Amino acid sequence: MSEPAEQSERSKKDYVTGEEISGGRLFTLLDRAEEMKRGRPSVGSDALAGRSVALIFEKPSTRTRISLETGVFEMGGHPLVLTGEALQLSRGESIEDTARVMSRFVAAIAIRSGSHEDVVALAEHASVPVINALTPEFHPCQALADLMTLKERFGGLDGLKVAYVGDGNNVARSLAIAGSMVGVEVAVAAPDGYQLEDGAPAVLTDDPYKAVHGADAIYGDVWVSMGDERTAEARISDFEPYRIDSDLLAAAKKDAIVMHCLPAHPGEEITAEVLYGPQSAVWDQAENRLHAQKALIEYLVG
């Protein structure tokens, strides 16, 4: 059966790698996110009134699930939270057919998946917006909250420098992509074998002190992510020189902030002194997932 005319002719916007939204649109989204945050709950959006959003979680989640579920509710919608086991995907139904079916029911789909290729296929075959809520390659929703936090703290984005220290992973990649669109320089310090690919829109180095020189923010992530547990001992040894501590923070600008996408392991990638210290913006950064994603959803379904 063919798609209904109103669905096939409607333009659709996705957010899969973060490259789908231009710098100009990013600034507009961030302004809207700040407006929603300042006026919460009275300043919001009814873009999802009477509509549902499918939230698929193939991996455990705290901030992503809570922020998306809360955000959909605050926009007047119904968050339909689904685990991988709850869907026929677990019994062999294709991601393409899942996309076609879900598109008949919901206004948008957000998915946290262990396969970036599956999220790409979902977006290609869905007739409603698809949001990447994390894959091994990208975490664009986190990058939105990161930019929002930087803009809040410094009043603007152009000319800022963020030093990401540790594993050159999905968070680092998405931060570099988003930063390049709004004038933020991202430097990634990682040991050999863990660095972002050549050509990534970031300054790449193996020296954390070189990366943080002149930085307005230092950013960390866990050394052992989901799926890395089998190599945990080797990873911790390799990343030992990349811990964010008071000495590394002192090498950045005097008013530099500290960022972390959480969950954190104090004593590993970051010391408790820095994580809970006066220069930490980590908790604002976590909260901003809610506001940035609400602005994103409003744009995508509009």
Whether 90 shows a pLDDT value over 80: the answer reads no
Q: Decide if 139 is catalytic.
A: yes
Q: Are both 229 and 172 inside the same structural domain? A: yes
Phi, psi of 18 (to 5 degrees): 95, -15
Q: Decide if 142 is catalytic.
A: yes
Give the mean pLDDT of the chain.
Answer: 93
Q: Are both 95 and 231 inside the same structural domain? A: no
Q: How far apart are CA 86 and CA 106, in angstroms?
A: 16
Q: Decide if 141 is catalytic.
A: no
Whether 180 shows a pLDDT value over 70: the answer reads yes
Task: Spot the catalytic one: 32, 141, 221, 260.
Answer: 221
Q: Decide if 63 is catalytic.
A: no
Task: Spot the catalytic one: 63, 65, 289, 291.
Answer: 289
Per-residue confidence (pLDDT) for residue 3, from 0 to 100: 40
Q: 161: Cβ–Cβ under 8 A, 6 or more apart, which residues?
A: 184, 185, 186, 187, 214, 215, 216, 217
pLDDT tens digit sequence for 196-207: 999 999 999 999
Q: Decide if 221 is catalytic.
A: yes
How far from each other are the two terminal CA atoms of the chain, in whole angstroms?
26
Reported as a pLDDT band with limits 50, 70 and 90, residue 222 is: very high
Q: For residues 94-119, give the mean pLDDT.
A: 96
Nearest to 274 by CA among 220, 212, 210: 220
Q: 203: Cβ–Cβ under 8 A, 6 or more apart, which residues?
A: 185, 186, 187, 188, 211
Q: Are both 256 and 245 inside the same structural domain? A: yes
Q: How far apart are CA 269 and CA 260, in angstroms?
A: 10
Q: Are both 96 and 148 inside the same structural domain? A: no
Distances (CA, A) of 100 to 4, 74, 106, 121, 125: 12, 27, 11, 11, 6
Reported as a pLDDT band with limits 50, 70 and 90, residue 59 is: confident
Task: Spot the catalytic one: 51, 112, 243, 291.
Answer: 112
Tell me which of 68-72, 153-157, 229-233 is least confident: 229-233
Per-residue confidence (pLDDT) for residue 271, from 0 to 100: 98
> CATH number for the domain including 296?
3.40.50.1370
Tell me which of 68-82, 102-116, 227-241 is least confident: 227-241
Largest Cα separation within the chain, whole Å, is 63
Adjacent-strand bridge partners of 188: 164, 204
* Residue of higher predicted confidence among 152 and 6: 152
Q: Are both 146 and 115 inside the same structural domain? A: no
Q: Are both 40 and 177 inside the same structural domain? A: no
Q: Decide if 112 is catalytic.
A: yes
Question: Per-residue DSSP letters for the chain?
Answer: -PPPHHHHSS----BSSSTTS-HHHHHHHHHHHHHHHHHTTTS---TTTT-EEEEEESS--SHHHHHHHHHHHHTT-EEEEEEGGGSGGGGT--HHHHHHHHHTT-SEEEEE-S-HHHHHHHHHH-SS-EEEEE-SS--HHHHHHHHHHHHHHHS--TT-EEEEES---HHHHHHHHHHHHHT-EEEEE--TTSSPPTT-SSEEES-HHHHHTT-SEEEE--SS-TT-GGGHHHHHHHHGGG-B-HHHHHTS-TT-EEEE-S---BTTTB-HHHHTSTTB-HHHHHHHHHHHHHHHHHHHH-
Q: Are both 120 and 192 inside the same structural domain? A: no
Q: 247: Cβ–Cβ under 8 A, 6 or more apart, which residues?
A: none
Domain housing 231: 142-287
Q: What is the pTM of this model?
A: 0.93
Q: Are both 190 and 251 inside the same structural domain? A: yes
Q: Are both 117 and 131 inside the same structural domain? A: yes
Q: Are both 297 and 195 inside the same structural domain? A: no
Whether 48 shows a pLDDT value over 70: the answer reads yes
Task: Spot the catalytic one: 261, 285, 291, 293.
Answer: 261
Q: Are both 46 and 83 inside the same structural domain? A: yes
The total number of structural domains that make up the chain:
2
Whether 89 shows a pLDDT value over 90: the answer reads no
Per-residue confidence (pLDDT) for residue 225, from 0 to 100: 82
Q: Are both 14 and 127 inside the same structural domain? A: yes
Reported as a pLDDT band with limits 50, 70 and 90, residue 125 is: very high
